[in-house]
Amino acid sequence: MSAIKLTVREVLEDACFEQAELVAGDKGLDNIVRWVHIMEVTNIDNLLNGSELILSTGVGWRDFKGACVSYFQQLIDAGVAALCIELVKYANSIPQEMLELANEHRIPLIVFHQEVRFIDISQVMNKRLVNTQYRILSDLEDFSSKLNQVMLLPNACHRVLKLIHQYLRVQVIYIPHNSEDITFLPLPNKNEQQKLVATIEADKENRVINRNKQFIATDQSYVGQSVQAMDVKFADIIFFTRYQAITEYELLVLDRCANAISQDLIRAFYLEEQRKQKKQQWIYEWISGSYKEEDIIQYLSSLDATINPNGAVVCVCRLHALMHDDNQSYHIAVFRNVLQKYGFFLVSLYDQKQFVFVLVNVRTQCDWKLRLEKVIRHIANMNLYKLDTTPYAWLGVGKLTEDIHEIQESYQSALEALAIQNQAKIKDKIFYEDLHIYRLVASLNKAICLEDYIQEYLGEVLDYDEAHNSDLLYTLQKYLECNGSKNDAAKRLYVVRQTLYHRLSKLKELLGADFMEPAKRSTIEFLIHAYRYQYPNHEQQVLKSVVKEGNA
């Protein structure tokens, strides 16, 4: 890499400065010179941009001893690289205070003891600076070419950081936003690493942000830029410069590298998203019945070569709020580990607040439900769903299918289990095969109007409850559940037997004395379940009322 900066040290090596003498500020010899300018006025204001090498004869200083110190302080405040003074006609010495300021602020103070042509110096040095700008463009083109080559290789991010270090010979630091795994190039010792990170953190609130959103330390010891993709900030690239000022070339290199890594991240996200979409599409097509058994075996073997499927079951887990990608990965990892302990291999997808878990059984089928119940209790005890807006999740478990290519049946039954739970507000029956009569109610409700049958057999009891604010239907339900045992029914209703006798008398009046005859009793029981299915909130209100009376 050719030289792409001009320092005060290099300026003093030029033939124009052969007769010059450095009298103070030697620690600023590596200050960057961006322009050479003749400045005789004593009121600087906003005349300078910073990093200039100032040439002056002192002609504008009426009172040299006092005015020159004020003049030099203004130059320091303007951020000049150095000051050259001709001590011939208008000045013949440098005040001690001025020398101390030069040393304190690391601004080289250079004097000529004989008359020199400032116009020649400025012309030579500014031509050299213009040539330096051309070299910057040339070097930047060369760097960009190598950067493009690096971006085609594996582990591109690390290679880019290494390229920055090789070209600029600076300490490079890559700080990810969601990780403590900081990359250093070259790798310093632990103490030095801690010092560098501490320096960055200490200056965080005060650093300057330029028009390219690069942040620069107040003392210009380091410069950095965020790596962003899709409006998300992923990391900061920072390097500590070897010079007193950040060069334009360094800023351009940093910008190109940050953009290159951002593009690499976008490409990686795109490929990962394609992979996820392909996987999800495959699972969707599987649970839709689109694949043959050999295709499914081949896919599962690509995930785990040792798998030996013995049937499969689908679980659909529906959340009450969207879940962040990081939480999805965490939950699936937890599910997979727990399921594996109990003999299930997990294939999953997540879409719109819903997990679809295909659980491939790898043990005997006879105890699959018992094992899955243990899994659910295990996960429930972990309180994974105790999130801000998700106190719990609905879970529906379908039928176990012996043939994995018929998984569509399990998926549809899992969805039906969820639909029944949601309609009937049943939280403790998650297995499709445990919903029994509710499955029949749900099916019949689609084919015929059960409301007419409910009114025919239970209408008078419902009307009576509504008119008298009573719980006769609930009493009837518990009485039938106890197979007509008055003693057991009274206990479950939290009432004395005399109260139950009174209620049963009223039920006979409303339903007919034959309501316990087998055929009519079966119909009434079925329609009570149908009513509970269609009006779950009514049952919950009655239950609260009964419990309250029992506690009283």
- Residues 16 and 25: their CA atoms lie apart, in Å, by 20
Pick the more confident residue, 311 or 325.
311
Tens digits of per-residue pLDDT, 205-258? 888 888 778 888 888 788 899 988 766 788 999 988 765 567 777 888 899 999
Beta strands in 343-421 (DSSP E): 344-350, 354-361, 394-397
Task: Answer yes or no: is pLDDT of 541 > 60.
Answer: no
Task: Answer yes or no: is pLDDT of 73 > 80.
Answer: yes
- Residues 239 and 502: their CA atoms lie apart, in Å, by 88
Task: Answer yes or no: is pLDDT of 531 > 90.
Answer: no
- What pLDDT shows up at residue 286? 92
- Residues 177 and 278: their CA atoms lie apart, in Å, by 29
- Residues 362 and 366: their CA atoms lie apart, in Å, by 12
- For 195, the 3-state DSSP assignment is helix
Q: Are 257 and 164 in contact (CB under 8 A)?
A: yes
Mean pLDDT of the residues in the chain:
84
- Residues 443 and 441: their CA atoms lie apart, in Å, by 5
- What pLDDT shows up at residue 427? 76
Q: Which of 141-145, 323-327, 413-417 has the lowest mean pLDDT?
A: 323-327
Beta strands in 202-243 (DSSP E): 208-209, 214-216, 222-229, 232-240
Task: Answer yes or no: is pLDDT of 129 > 60.
Answer: yes
- Axis crossing angle, helix 518-534 with helix 450-468, rounded to the nearest 10: 80
Q: If residue 182 lies in a helix (H) or strand (E), which one and from where to where?
A: none
User: Which are the contacts of 21, defined by CB distance < 8 A and separation ≥ 6?
Assistant: 110, 111, 112, 113
How many helices (H) and strands (E) would you count in the chain? 18, 15
Q: Are 206 and 182 in contact (CB under 8 A)?
A: no
- Residues 427 and 197: their CA atoms lie apart, in Å, by 52
Task: Answer yes or no: is pLDDT of 1 > 70.
Answer: no
Written as six digits, the tokens of 487 are 């003693």
First to last CA, the chain: 90
- What pLDDT shows up at residue 68? 80
- What pLDDT shows up at residue 389? 40
- What pLDDT shows up at residue 387? 42
Q: What is the DSSP letter of 403?
A: S
Average pLDDT, integer, range 521-529: 87
Pick the more confident residue, 465 or 245.
465
515 Ramachandran zone, left/alpha/beta (phi>0; psi -120 to 50): alpha
Q: Which of 80-89, 123-132, 364-373, 461-470 ranks highest by mean pLDDT?
A: 364-373
Q: What is the pTM of this model?
A: 0.52
Tens digits of per-residue pLDDT, 479-490? 998 998 999 999
Pick the more confident residue, 385 or 326.
326
Nearest to 354, CA basis, from 313, 391, 394: 394
- What pLDDT shows up at residue 44? 80
Q: Which of 186-190, 226-230, 320-324 ranks highest by mean pLDDT?
A: 186-190
Task: Answer yes or no: is pLDDT of 131 > 90.
Answer: no
User: What phi, psi does 294 have (nearest 5°)?
Assistant: -65, -35
Q: Which of 34-43, 383-392, 400-409, 501-510 has the lowest mean pLDDT?
A: 383-392
- What pLDDT shows up at residue 388? 41
Q: Are 59 and 10 in contact (CB under 8 A)?
A: no
- Residues 379 and 375: their CA atoms lie apart, in Å, by 6
- What pLDDT shows up at residue 415? 92
Average pLDDT, integer, range 334-345: 90
User: What phi, psi does 117 have (nearest 5°)?
Assistant: -90, 100
Task: Answer yes or no: is pLDDT of 357 > 90.
Answer: yes
Owner of token pair 């070897």:
242
Sheet with 82-86, side-by-side order of all strands: 20-24, 109-112, 82-86, 52-56, 35-38
Nearest to 225, CA basis, from 257, 182, 249, 202: 257
Q: Are 390 and 382 in contact (CB under 8 A)?
A: no
CA angle 512, 515, 520 (to 5 degrees): 120
Average pLDDT, integer, range 482-506: 90
- What pLDDT shows up at residue 2? 40
- Residues 276 and 341: their CA atoms lie apart, in Å, by 26
> Before 186, cis peptide (omega within 30)?
yes
User: Which are the contacts of 366, defined by CB distance < 8 A and separation ≥ 6?
Assistant: none
